[in-house]
Amino acid sequence: MDVFKIIYTAFGGLSLFFYGMRNMTDGLQALGGDVIKRIIGSLTSNRFLAVLVGLGVTTIVQSSSITTVMTVGFVNSGLMSLTQAIGVIFGANIGTTITGWIISIKIGKYGLLMIGLSLYPTLYAKSEKWRQIGRVVFGIGLIFFGLQLMSGAFKPLRTYPAFIESLHYFSGHNYMSYVYCIIMGCLLTIIIQSSSAMLGITIALAASGVIEFHTAAAFVLGENIGTTITALLAGIGGNINAKRAAKAHAIFNLFGVGIMVAIFPYYVQFIEWLIPNAANFVNEAGERPYIAFHIASGHTIFNVAATLIFLPFLKQFSNLIVKLTPEKVKEEDSSFTLLGNKNSFLPATAIIQAQQELLKFKDVVNSMFDVTRSIFETPNNDDEAIKKIKRYEQITDNIEREVTVYMCQVMEKRLSPDQSAQAQSIVRVADELESLGDYLEKLVMSTVRLKNEGALKGALKEEFSLLLKEVETYFEAVSSCINEPSNLEELSIYKTSDEIKAKIDEIREGHVERISKKEYSPLTALTYSDMVVSLRKIRSHTLNIAQAYTSKTA
């Protein structure tokens, strides 16, 4: 037996499988991006709806790991509660079983045909929709062809003495063998970071006659544990709720596998009874033609059963996770973490998460306006105001940098024209909000300096206070479009901007006249001028936020 040939053929088949999964997943994401946004938007506290959301999203993206990491990110950004997230994770576990049904079709039978049929729409179709459909078909074809190569590579192992001997620990009909299989399935899934790929390998091994059904079923249970490592790694960088969501995924799968191991022989017998034809039937070629459907069925039955067992106790399970992951210290307001790596970004949901961060960003800027206003209303809080404004300004720098890097990574993926426009708007708005933070800090420092000189009083104070209020009101009106761009009244926004600009010019002219009359010292005059300029810049950057959501340019 040529061991090297077995290795490179199996590795090549696995590589084609991975590439096919990537193409199928990316194509489905591009086709279903708007659907995913609507699905996420339908989330409520209803546990059944949360499960359906997880099922729907995972059906589209064909990866429970992507859905779970997305869910952890949503919890981290405050878009989703822990209870909702657990429901979505339940649904994601069911949704990922659809991959098993796709690859359980006759391995390789239609692979090359689908690759050939996908050529024209993928390369030459004018419509983006048809190009993505072609990409999905191409991906499925590669999956089938890759599985065919792996299955062919594994066939010689059926008669290889050393391999048969190594299977001794995994093929026995006893609980220790089941546990060995589960551990091996878990470890291999952690190594290759894809439960779908491990499922494909398991089906290829079983269909080629190398392993029997009970061994494959135990491997699949281990794969369900191994797939939780992705979310656990994503949760490391998140806040306490993100860690809880990731831990909920791991504990749910561990408990589910524990229950199934306790009744494993009956679990295998039930699948044999439910699915026609014996799983371990061997044809003349030495293959098991029916075992793939049994494996896919077992995968689905396990996840559906685990969800049905846990769903009535969703609230109690959520409380258990909170107790197991206590909040040791109060988290700082500056903890903004966008989760995931660029290989697992789902554009539609990444945009939703980034928009949620912009809402938090807006709240920080609102707090900076509050600090600025408090200087006029409270005589002796200048030191505290300076500390707060500097802290807020540092937060704005952190969020702007994080959002920009995150969206640049998202834009490296294939985006629809609408998604590309949304991503560019998010980057621009983050930059404008950071600039607002800079000028509000300058405004506070100038205001404190003017107060210390005793000049911020009377008509001068009233004039500037009214102007600050107008600018703040204008920001509130414009920033409301961050969450709902359709609410932006374009004509009103531009009209108000022009009115504020005219008023600032009028104040500056009046200030020049006061300077000519030597009503203020040169330093006081310069400081007040800096304050007016800061408000003018704030008005300008606020207008730029509106322009990011309209057809006009800056």
Tell me, yes or no, whether 214 and 292 share the same domain: yes
Higher pLDDT, 380 or 322: 322
Question: What mean pLDDT, rounded, does the chain reach?
Answer: 80
The four Cα atoms 543, 545, 549, 553 give a dihedral, to 10 degrees, of 60
Q: What is the mean pLDDT of residues 283-308?
A: 87
Q: What is the mean pLDDT of residues 517-523?
A: 68
What pLDDT does 456 receive? 63
Nearest to 19 by CA among 117, 139, 132: 139
Tell me, yes or no, whether 361 and 238 share the same domain: no
Nearest to 192 by CA among 17, 342, 341, 346: 17
Tell me, yes or no, whether 386 and 484 share the same domain: yes
What pLDDT does 335 receive? 47
What pLDDT does 381 receive? 63
Nearest to 136 by CA among 19, 25, 15: 25
Domain assignment present for 527: yes
Higher pLDDT, 385 or 36: 385
Tell me, yes or no, whether 513 and 379 share the same domain: yes
Q: Which of 272, 290, 324 is the last residue of a domain?
A: 324
Tell me, yes or no, whether 528 and 404 share the same domain: yes
Token couple for 549? 């959501």
What pLDDT does 409 receive? 83
Strongest mean pLDDT among 213-217, 236-240, 347-351, 518-522: 213-217
Tell me, yes or no, whether 307 and 365 share the same domain: no
Q: How far is CA 39 from CA 44, 50, 249, 319, 352, in A?
A: 11, 10, 21, 26, 12
Tell me, yes or no, whether 317 and 373 share the same domain: no
Q: Is 273 exposed, middle or buried (0-12, 13-18, 19+ CB in 10 A)?
A: exposed
pLDDT in tens, 128-146: 788 888 888 888 888 888 8
pTM tops 0.85? no
pLDDT in tens, 39-98: 666 665 667 778 888 887 777 666 666 677 777 777 766 667 788 888 888 888 888 888
What pLDDT does 271 receive? 92
Tell me, yes or no, whether 383 and 526 share the same domain: yes
Domain assignment present for 45: yes
Higher pLDDT, 260 or 285: 260
What pLDDT does 357 receive? 85
Helix H segments across 263-415?
Answer: 264-274, 291-310, 314-324, 347-377, 382-410
Domain assignment present for 339: no
Confidence band for 162, pLDDT divided at 50, 70 and 90: low
Can you give the CATH number for the domain in which 490 is found? 1.20.58.220
Q: Is 464 exposed, middle or buried (0-12, 13-18, 19+ CB in 10 A)?
A: buried
What pLDDT does 433 receive? 93
Tell me, yes or no, whether 168 and 311 share the same domain: yes
Checking 409-417 for CB contacts under 8 A at 24+ apart, the result is 409/342, 409/345, 410/342, 410/345, 410/347, 410/350, 410/351, 410/354, 412/342, 413/26, 413/342, 413/345, 413/347, 414/26, 414/30, 414/347, 415/30, 415/347, 416/30, 416/33, 416/128, 416/347, 417/128
Tell me, yes or no, whether 132 and 201 share the same domain: yes
pLDDT in tens, 452-473: 666 566 677 788 888 889 999 9
Range of the domain at 482: 347-548
| Residue 368 backbone dihedrals phi, psi, to 5 degrees | -65, -40
Confidence band for 487, pLDDT divided at 50, 70 and 90: low
CB atoms within 10 A of CB 449: 17
What pLDDT does 17 receive? 80
Query: Which stretch of 120-124, 150-154, 511-515 has the lowest confidence by average pLDDT?
Result: 511-515
Q: What is the mean pLDDT of residues 107-112?
A: 69
What pLDDT does 334 receive? 45
Count the domains in the chain.
2
Confidence band for 114, pLDDT divided at 50, 70 and 90: confident
Burial call 28-47: b when 16+ CB within 10 Å, e when fewer: bbbbbbeebeebbeebeeeb
Q: Which of 324, 357, 389 is the last residue of a domain?
A: 324
Confidence band for 332, pLDDT divided at 50, 70 and 90: very low
Cβ(98)–Cβ(62) under 8 Å?
A: yes
Return the SS3 of 281: coil
Domain assignment present for 433: yes
Tell me, yes or no, whether 528 and 385 share the same domain: yes
Domain assignment present for 329: no
Sign of the Cα torsion 313, 314, 320, 324 reads: positive
Q: Alpha carbon 392 to chain centroid distance?
A: 26
Q: Alpha carbon 548 to chain centroid distance?
A: 23
Domain assignment present for 498: yes
Domain assignment present for 282: yes
pLDDT in tens, 342-382: 555 677 777 888 888 888 889 999 999 988 888 777 766 67
Domain assignment present for 215: yes
Helix H segments across 227-338?
Answer: 229-236, 240-262, 264-274, 291-310, 314-324
Sign of the Cα torsion 204, 207, 211, 212 reads: positive
Cβ(119)–Cβ(131) under 8 Å?
A: no
Confidence band for 172, pLDDT divided at 50, 70 and 90: low
Q: What is the mean pLDDT of residues 149-170?
A: 69
pLDDT in tens, 521-550: 777 777 778 888 888 999 999 888 888 877
What pLDDT does 266 receive? 92
Reduced DSSP (H G I as helix, E B as strand, rest coil) percent helix, strand, coil of the chain, to 5: 80, 0, 20
Compute the distance between CA of residue 97 and CA of residue 302 in angstroms, rounded to an integer.
Answer: 10
Tell me, yes or no, whether 352 and 318 share the same domain: no
Q: How far is CA 272 from CA 131, 259, 295, in A?
A: 41, 19, 10
Higher pLDDT, 161 or 245: 245
Confidence band for 431, pLDDT divided at 50, 70 and 90: very high
DSSP code for 127: S
What pLDDT does 438 receive? 92
Compute the distance between CA of residue 190 and CA of residue 187 in angstroms, rounded to an integer.
Answer: 5
Residue 123: pLDDT above 60? Answer: yes
Burial call 136-169: b when 16+ CB within 10 Å, e when fewer: bbbbbbbbbbbbbbbbbbbbbbbeeeebeeebee
| Residue 318 backbone dihedrals phi, psi, to 5 degrees | -60, -40
CB atoms within 10 A of CB 343: 10
Nearest to 228 by CA among 188, 193, 184: 193
Q: Which of 263, 291, 324 is the last residue of a domain?
A: 324
